[in-house]
Structure 1
Amino acid sequence: MASLVQRIASQAARTFRNTKNPATFQQQLIKLKELTRTLTADDINFDVDLVRDTRKFNPESGEAPFTYIGLWEDKIFSMGVFVLRSHTSLPIHDHPDMFGMVKVLNGSVNVKSFSKVVNNDGTDLPKDEVMSSTDRVLHRVHLHGTQKIGTSDGVCVLDPLNGNFHEVSTGETPGAFFDILSPPYD
């Protein structure tokens, strides 16, 4: 029988291969969320030594505030693990036209997400009330939600329209999370 991470990869391929049919896509996404919700650090042989150092991160140390471990990438999706040291963050950013899924494997992370505010015709609202700047393009955004996610919590899903601008941070302890992006960066 295939391992859980292999089953997640197969389901991610089925889910993101064809997003054109909304009903089918939602059914496949629910299956992917359910599989991913059960993922643990042991399922991917995660090295817990990566989260043992609980000292507050010192930006002057010359060390990186986080580590990324790539697990899989093809034209449809990528899977990996982010390890954030305590008191660090992945600053606010977006994944243009991408879906993202976050499942915490160790510790906890805080996810603050924002959605772009658009006119009824889909165009950006005037830039006079800017809250976020990404790649030198300014967007007006509103807070979509803030949540603290731990290992026993479900999967956080960020889609191209809802919550796509986001920040992931840690508090007193480090955190590690499994991440799926579709489509992946090229």
Structure 2
Amino acid sequence: MGIQRNLSDRKGRELCELREEMNTNNKSRKNRRHRQRKMLPGPRLFHTCHQVFASTGSGVVPSPQHIEMLRSVLGGITPEDVGLEPEMPYFSTKFPQRTPKITYIHIYECEKFSMGIFCLPPSGVIPLHNHPGMTVFSKLLFGTMHIKSYDWVVDLPPEIPTVVKSSETQTPDMRLARVKVDADFRAPCDPSILYPADGGNMHCFTAVTACAVLDVLGPPYSDPDGRHCTYYHNFPFSNLSVDGVSMPEGERTAYEWLQEKEKPEDLQVVVKMYNGPRIVEN
């Protein structure tokens, strides 16, 4: 009887301890959710990026749940949340006849991800470039922007060539790409997402009006890690006649040939440090 009573007392204590632990965990989760609800949009974006990219790397795409989480948070960011207004000098140019310079506002970068804002005056262009091994989230904060993006063609039968070899040793080969997007986007609109191998990994931005786009890259560009920014020429599919490559006439505009090129000489990007409302915790 004494043994049974001791066992009963011990089980009672263990049950009480378990209930206390469960209550503590529940309170902790509620407090965490409460803090997240009270968190301002900028810090919320920063904390979400840390969570989403914590276990990713080059070529590793976040889980669908994490992608949707970051898409939702990024979708709620407004120009006011990052201290931007269309009247700022970033979005005008004193010399309309010249190629407008672009301002990049650097917010944050670590080995897992980077955050920054591109500010484009009317007619400003971010030339066609790639994002090797990266998942990229872009949010148009205001204005109208034309986006043209491509993915490499990898699903044709092996007997159909998708690379045109150059006859000159110093001239890069041409590679077949599929046009993913070719349209104007006007804020407010949903964030766009591109992936290491699809979703429009290579894209070009052209400002129809003054506009700003918030970019989150995971992981960021890194020359030592092989994530170089490469620029491209694009050529209509019909410009080349290649043995074995044929498309129905109605589909030809969906394909173009891309050829690597040096960074455009007229591309001017001025880097500024972010000084808007708090986003990154000290």
Q: Do both share a fold (TM > 0.5)?
A: yes
Larger RCO (alpha carbons 8 Å, 6+ apart): 1
2:201 is aligned with 1:164: yes
CA contact (8 A) 1:114 1:144 kept: yes
| 1-structure distance, mates of 2:135, 2:62 | 16
CA contact (8 A) 2:91 2:119 kept: no
Q: Which residue of 1 aligns with 2:214?
A: 178
Aligned counterpart in structure 1 of residue 74 of structure 2, from 22, 28, 36? 36
Q: Which residue of 2 aligns with 1:46?
A: 84
| 2-structure distance, mates of 1:116, 1:44 | 34
- Measured on the aligned residues, the alpha-carbon RMSD in Å equals 3.0
Q: CA deviation at 1:151?
A: 2.2
State the AA in 2 paired with 1:37. Answer: G
CA contact (8 A) 2:145 2:206 kept: yes
CA contact (8 A) 2:118 2:212 kept: yes
What do the CA deviations read for 1:53-104 (whole angstroms, capped 9, x no partner)? 37784327xxx52110001111111000001111121111001111111111
Q: 1:129 to 1:140 in 2, by over 3 A?
A: farther
CA contact (8 A) 2:106 2:117 kept: yes
CA contact (8 A) 2:124 2:206 kept: yes
2:133 is aligned with 1:97: yes
| 2-structure distance, mates of 1:148, 1:51 | 21
Q: Which residue of 1 aligns with 2:178?
A: 142
What do the CA deviations read for 1:7-51 (whole angstroms, capped 9, x no partner)? 11111121122248x997110110100110110010011243135
Aligned counterpart in structure 2 of residue 107 of structure 1, from 136, 143, 149? 143
Q: Structure 1: which 5+ residue stretches go unaligned?
A: 131-135
Q: 1:10 to 1:94 in 2, by over 3 A?
A: same
Q: Secondary structure at the match of 1:17?
A: coil
Q: Secondary structure at the match of 1:140?
A: strand
Q: 1:56 to 1:155 in 2, by over 3 A?
A: farther
Q: Which residue of 1 aligns with 2:266?
A: none
CA contact (8 A) 1:51 1:176 kept: no
What do the CA deviations read for 1:95-119 (whole angstroms, capped 9, x no partner)? 1111111111121211111001125
Q: CA deviation at 1:148?
A: 2.3
Give the structure-2-normalised TM-score: 0.55
Runs of 4+ aligned structure 1 residues displaced above 6 Å come to none
Aligned counterpart in structure 1 of residue 52 of structure 2, from 9, 15, 27? 15
Q: Which residue of 2 aligns with 1:79?
A: 115
Q: Secondary structure at the match of 1:92?
A: strand
Give the structure-1-normalised TM-score: 0.81
State the AA in 2 paired with 1:185. Answer: Y
State the AA in 2 paired with 1:27. Answer: Q
Greater strand share, 1 or 2? 1
| 2-structure distance, mates of 1:43, 1:166 | 26
Aligned counterpart in structure 2 of residue 3 of structure 1, from 10, 34, 40? 40
| 2-structure distance, mates of 1:121, 1:13 | 40
